[in-house]
Every structure is written in C-alpha cells, then in structure tokens.
Amino acid sequence: MQELKMPEKTRRASKDSGLITRLLETLDADNIQYCHWKSNWRIGQWLEGKGDLDLLIGRHDITKFAAVLSGLGFKKAIPPREKEVPGVVNFYGYDPKIQDFINVHAHYQLVFGNELTNNYRLPVERSLLAGSNREGIIFVASHEMELVLFVIRTVLKFSALERLGKALIGERANCEKKIFGELNYLEDRVDPEKLESVLHEQFQFLDKQFFNECLALLGQKSSLLKKMELNFKMKKALSDYSRSHFLIEHLTRAKRGLIKVGRKLLRKKNPGKRFEGGGMLLAFVGGDGAGKTTSVNEISKWLSRKFEVRNAHLGKPPKSFLTLLVGAVLKIRRKLSGSSDEFGSKPIFLQRLRWLCTARDRYRLYKRIRRDAANGLIVICDRYPIPNLNLMDAPKIPDETGGRLVRIEKRFYRNILPPEQLFVLRVEPNTAVDRKPDEPSPYVFRRSKELWKIDWRDSNACLIDANRPLDSVLSDLRNRVWASL
C-alpha cells in the first residue's frame, strides 16, 4: 500500500479553538453522550477550527445538546434542499479567538453514502457511542468501528460520473491522497481481533472476505471497473438499509452530479445555508472616512462563505429606465443652458423629477431586498435611508416648492421601514477630513458631524467606533453581526 505520512498539523500540539474547548467541556459537565465518529486522523485540525466537527449524539441527549449549543451562541442553519440529510443538523458558532466559524455537524443517526444522495442509514449508533474513547479533550470512535465505517463510506462513493467530474475540476489526485492517508492512519491502530469481533457482531451483512477485498482495493490505485464492481456489491449488501430504490438513487445522483460539475465549470457559487430563524436585513451607515464600504464588503465576504447573502446599495440603487431618461434630458438641458442653477432655493422641475426618480428606485430596491429577507436570506445594505439623516439618502425636494412631487417623494421614503439591525460607523469629523484628503473638507466634515449629533438611544442602532484601526473595527463588527443574526 502506498505510504503517506500524517500531516504535520495532526502530529504537533494543537492550538484548540476556544469555542470548541468550551463546547466539549460543557458536554462533559452535562454528561451528554457523544463522539467524533469519522476522519479522526485529522482531529488536531478539527479542534483548531480548521474543519467541521462530525459529532454523533446519543438520541436521549439530543434536546440537551441543542440547548448547550444555543447557550454558547451556536445557530442552526438549513442547507439547500438537495443537501438535506435526515438526522443531520448543522450548527454554526463564531469564535472570536480564531475569528472564524465553527461548524458542528450533529448526527442523530448515521446516514451516509455518495455525497450527492447519502442513501444509506446504518443503525449502529449505540455500539459506536458505547465503544468510543477519550482522546485529549474529545471522545472519538474506536479505531475498529471507524475503519469499518470508513471502508463502507468510501466504497459507496465510487462513481464513474463522480470520477469524471473530479478529473475535470482537478480534484481526483487530492481525493486519492486523502483516502490513502486516512487508511494508513486507521490500519496502524486497529486491533485485528477487535476488528473481527466488530465485523461479526455489528456488521453481520458484511462478508469478511468481501470486507478484506474492499480494504485491499482502497490501499492501491485500481481500475474504475473494479471499483464499480465493489460499489455494486456494497450496495447489494446494504440494500436493507437504503432510503430509496437504487434506480431513484442513480437518477438523483446523476442529476445532482451534472449540476455540481456545471457549477464548477461555470464558476458559479453553490447556494449557501440559511438560518433557521429566518432572514434579516442588516444596514450599515457612516460618514466619509468611516470605512463603511470596506467594512460592508468584508462582512459580506465573511458571511457568504457559509450562508446565503445578498448585497444592496441603497445609496446608489439600480436606475430604472425612467430615471435614465430623466437624467439624460437633465444633462442635455444643462449643456444647452450653460448653467446649473437648478440646485438653487427652487430647483427646476427636471431636477425635482430626478430626485423623485431616485426615491422611487430606492423604494423598488427596498421591496426586492425585503422579499429576499422574508425568504431567508441575509441582506447587507451599504447605506440606508434614516429619518434623522438629511445629508445622505433622504428626501431632496424642498418643501417650499410644494406640489405633488414633494408628497410622493416623502411617501417613498416613509414606506422604507427600519432594518432589523442598523450599524452606525462613527468617526470624529476631523479624523474623517484627514482620511479623505481628495474630498472637499466642509462636505466631509458636515456628513460626519451629523452622525454624532443624532441621539441613537431609542433606536435599534449598534454604534461602532470607527476611529480605531480597520482590523479592530472588523473584529467588533463580526461579533456584533453574529450576535444579531
């Protein structure tokens, strides 16, 4: 069998995630039965928060386990429908120590197979939990049980379509390397007598000779034909434990496989998860020099790694055809007249109409993102109309002009309701001026000062001190955004 050394990260002392450490300590304190049941050859990396934790939970402890996660700030997330697996629940927490997400896959029953269908469920949870052992701060499955499950899971994943797909996207060699590495790790640690006992008592449907044949195949590079033969035999042995008929499984896998390969080739991002509590509309406002746009982009990038996120810029909404038409006519009028006095105390009708069109565009965008949030997405808004902010994203048509346009514009803004959570990035006016040397100083000063004059106490605003370095601001924002979700 090909030799492969364990990665250095799994052999050196790990720098455990603070949140994971607290989670495992709480599980011990509450006597919750669990074990990390697969891929324990890289348990050091998982404890550092560099991968997902696959925890099998005793059925009688499911309620207590969910309560522990909630108490530690974890949130339940729902994957896209095609990736939902019965008895497997995703929880996400945010660990400020490593400034990253901690993903806990809570397995209430063992369901696995090809990653596109996960068509098999083995009722061996009690034996797996009963035979688990403590390794450092975490309970892990016995090497014998883990090896048997690893062989079954890997053989079930053999697929001609999947092999072609991985070859097209350049992942085939990496997958084989992982298989060899994990197999070497487990074979070096299993007790042959215990392994034979586990096969006899827990996996009676697996013929010993067939299991050894599968084990030998995983340790070498073999033909696709041989792999497909063992895949067929394994499915036949597990037929009593399948979730759907094999024809339905093949059709489903083919459909999802083609979609997956197509997304990879077209470089389209897979749909993210959505929070069980539903979507939210998060708005960020701030004067010039507060780092608002940079912060919005970083927070959006951070959340979209795992979750379904939609961005919107209510300061610069997409322009409708009517807005473009009025804007074009206004530009022509300026060139022909050679003046721009439409910004005086009583702007000309075209300019008032242009402001009304902008209000309409903002309201149209607001309705779209409200629908997105209602459907479970996290919507992040760069700028947002706030009643007390008059210098940005507010009604522009002077009241003294009177007329219907004033009433319509105000109605558009009045119908834009407050976001679920507002983040206000405030920077000292003089600091803002220093950070924006290319902008007119009075203009920057006024916009920044307006944010300081507003009394935010009776609002849902979360005030962020943007005078600090960007790294400190982003760290604070991640903590506060996660707490609000």
**Splitting the chain (485 residues) into consecutive groups of 10 residues, what average pLDDT does each group show?**
36 64 96 96 93 95 96 94 89 93 96 84 94 95 96 85 53 72 92 94 91 88 82 90 80 71 69 91 92 94 95 94 93 78 68 94 97 96 90 87 88 95 93 87 87 84 93 95 94
The answer to whether 384 touches 437, Cβ cutoff 8 Å, is no
- Per-residue confidence (pLDDT) for residue 339, from 0 to 100: 62
- SS3 for 243? coil
Contact 78, 272 (CB under 8 A): no
pLDDT at residue 9, as a whole number: 38
Give the per-residue pLDDT at 2. Answer: 34
Can you tell me the distance from the alpha carbon of 139 to that of 131, in angstroms, rounded to the nearest whole number? Answer: 10
Q: Which of 184, 186, 160, 185 is nearest to 172 (CA)?
A: 160
Provide the pLDDT for residue 272. 86
- The two three-digit tokens of residue 103, written as one number: 């993903």
How much is the pLDDT for 47?
94
Between CA 231 and CA 427 the distance in angstroms is: 62
The kind and range of the H/E element at 112 are: strand 110-112
- Within its chain, how far is the Cα of 415 from the centroid? 31
pLDDT at residue 70, rounded to an integer: 95
Residue 388's pLDDT is 82
The C-alpha atoms of residue 75 and residue 342 are separated, in whole angstroms, by: 52
Q: State the pairing for strand pair 75-78/88-95.
A: antiparallel
Q: In this predicted structure, what is the pLDDT of residue 213? A: 92
pLDDT at 415: 95
Domains within the chain, CATH numbers bracketed: 8-265 (no CATH), 276-320+363-484 (3.40.50.300)
CB-based burial, 4-20: b 16+ in 10 Å, e otherwise = beeeeebeeebebbebb
Axis crossing angle, helix 224-237 with helix 143-156, rounded to the nearest 10: 110
Amino acid at 199: L
Q: What is the model's pLDDT at position 440?
A: 86
pLDDT at 13: 37
Alpha carbons within 13 A on the beta-carbon side of 426: 16
| Inter-helix orientation angle 208-218/172-187, to 10° | 130
120-122 and 110-112: which strand pairing? Answer: antiparallel
pTM to 2 decimal places: 0.85
Main-chain dihedrals φ then ψ at residue 282, nearest 5 degrees: -105, 125
| Residue-level pLDDT at 343 | 53
Is residue 86 a contact partner of residue 140, using CB atoms and an 8 Å limit? no
Helix (H) or strand (E) holding 103: strand 100-107
